[in-house]
Structure 1
């Protein structure tokens, strides 16, 4: 018997009646309890997550809590498999995708914004039990991750964002290691987002310049000496930066071009990343939903003083916009980065 057969292959059904919305909440409870036990499920945590879910916009916090406690009671008395079958019976066709999304919400790693590998088999079983195609399931997973990312960015923006005005002309690093003229304009919705070790400049038209900077440790200096400058700068981007800053949130992102620039900053490494649906701006669909636009991001890693820098420039593409060849796009993006780096005053 497979690990989740007692849940998704059970034939038992409850006599309890559920609304379609309660059936969605029941899928959340089932998913939350699948790898532990019903007793370990935190009803208030589930209720808090579901309360922000669009399906439950007509529910109060108290009403959602009552629903979740009731569903947990069914699972305790009659079994998780029974609760799943009952939920599946009362799910309307319009809410099947929402039910899967509720399951995804229960297993997503909110800090890393990924589905933990250990939870992948559970989601696969849920997908099959709800009779969802692989493409549908992956779209839902990406939408949930994007929603978390957007909420995180909004929270980050509230605390660390400065909308530009005509008096703000330059940004100075809190560590005093560089000063840079701000490359976006207030008239275009320019803004500065910053936190420890990173500053980004963006606007409402999809422009994004970003500077990540890291003070070198003695261990890293030894690693550079051992590997050599070119290989170290390449490995920083391929093995660390791209997986953590891009691929974790955009699994379809792909490195398209690598180039070592020996004459730039005494040695720098350029990389071009293709980011489907990875833009900072979205397009509005006919059904009212927003979909992120495609983008290319160029990255340049180099050293200056006691710091490693990764400077990036992102270009977004309108749906009807004609792109140049990969070589042409890479060239223009690289020139934008190099031009931006020339404006930075390292101190």
Structure 2
């Protein structure tokens, strides 16, 4: 029997039926419990998550908590597998996707705004149990992640409003010496946060392996002519693959290889993204039993786009700790791309 069979392949059923809304809440409860246990569930936290779903927009605090208490009580009395079966039977039409969104939402790492690698198997099992195809499942996951990112951005904007986004008042704001952008510093001193600057470049890193970097270059009239001649997409592709990656990454890490390329037509009026595999290329080191320090392996996502008369290169890195292995190349590319885009959203161009 598989790890999640008792949740999604149980033969048990409930004697009482539940409403479609209760069924959506039940899927969230089942998913959360499958990831931990019923005893560890936090109804208030689940309520905060479920309020983000349209189906619960009109619910009051008490109504949603009452719904969650009911489905949790059913799970405790009749087992989680029976609750799942009843919930699945009560879902119709688009509510199946709403229920899947509820399950996805409880698995999102709100700090990283991504689905942790350790949760992907559970999420796949839930998808299969609800009978959702891969295309629809990916769309739901993307929408949920986008919703979490929007909430994070709103929180950042609230912080900016409180401080007036004034770098003199807010030490957590970095302003480019060239005066072309300001950005909230994404690392903090408690985690060993560092801000390192070079000419036309700034990087933010910490002891957890986080690395976010912004490079910017003036676009000359000759480069503008080249861009007009070959097209925006080809110019960005060529700049990344022929200049930036070889000179900035491969020159220091010869074993690095570009593993994924993608043109994002609807992002920033056209942006080009590449994923680079960097063996022992992390900013974080580990010390072996013999005391020798070696750098961790890492993937780096690099996004190129133009804004005004400048070309920007924004990067994000995923370091692999201990025996952590990468997800599929497609998943790694998508996760890191979303991290880069989320970071870009915090930049205010001047």
CA deviation profile, 1:51-99 (whole Å, cap 9, x unmatched): 2321101211100000000000000000000000000010111211110
Distance 2:245 2:129 in 1: 52
Deviation at 1:44, TM superposition (A): 1.9
* 1:336 to 2:311 alignment: yes
Structure 1 residue aligned with 2:271: 295
TM-score calculated relative to the size of structure 1? 0.57
Distance in 2 (CA, whole Å) between partners of 1:41 and 1:51 is 17
Q: Report the 3-state secondary structure (helix = DSSP H, G, I; strand = E; otherwise coil) of the residue aligned with 1:259.
A: helix
Matches within 5 A, 1:1-347: 1-160=1-160, 180-183=177-180, 192-195=182-185, 212-214=202-204, 240-241=211-212, 257-259=241-243, 274=262, 276=264, 279=267, 295-296=271-272, 314-315=305-306, 336-337=311-312
Deviations 1:314-346 (A, max 9, x none): 349xxxxxxxxxxxxxxx99x6349xxxxxxxx
Aligned residues: 243
Corresponding residue SS for 2:243: strand
TM-fit CA distance, 1:15: 2.0
Q: Which runs of 5+ in 1 are unaligned?
A: 185-191, 199-209, 218-235, 243-253, 281-292, 299-310, 317-331, 339-347
Instruction: Specify whether residues 40 and 278 from structure 1 end up closer, same or farther in structure 2 by C-alpha distance, changes over 3 A only.
Output: farther
Shift of residue 104 of structure 1? 0.6
Alignment RMSD: 4.6
State the shift of 1:294 in Å: 5.8
Do the aligned residues in 2 keep the contact of 1:21 with 1:55 (CA within 8 Å)? Answer: yes
Gaps of 5+ in 2: 189-199, 214-236, 275-301, 314-350
Q: Distance in 2 between matches of 1:149 and 1:41?
A: 24
Q: 1:172–1:178: 8 Å Cα contact kept in structure 2?
A: no
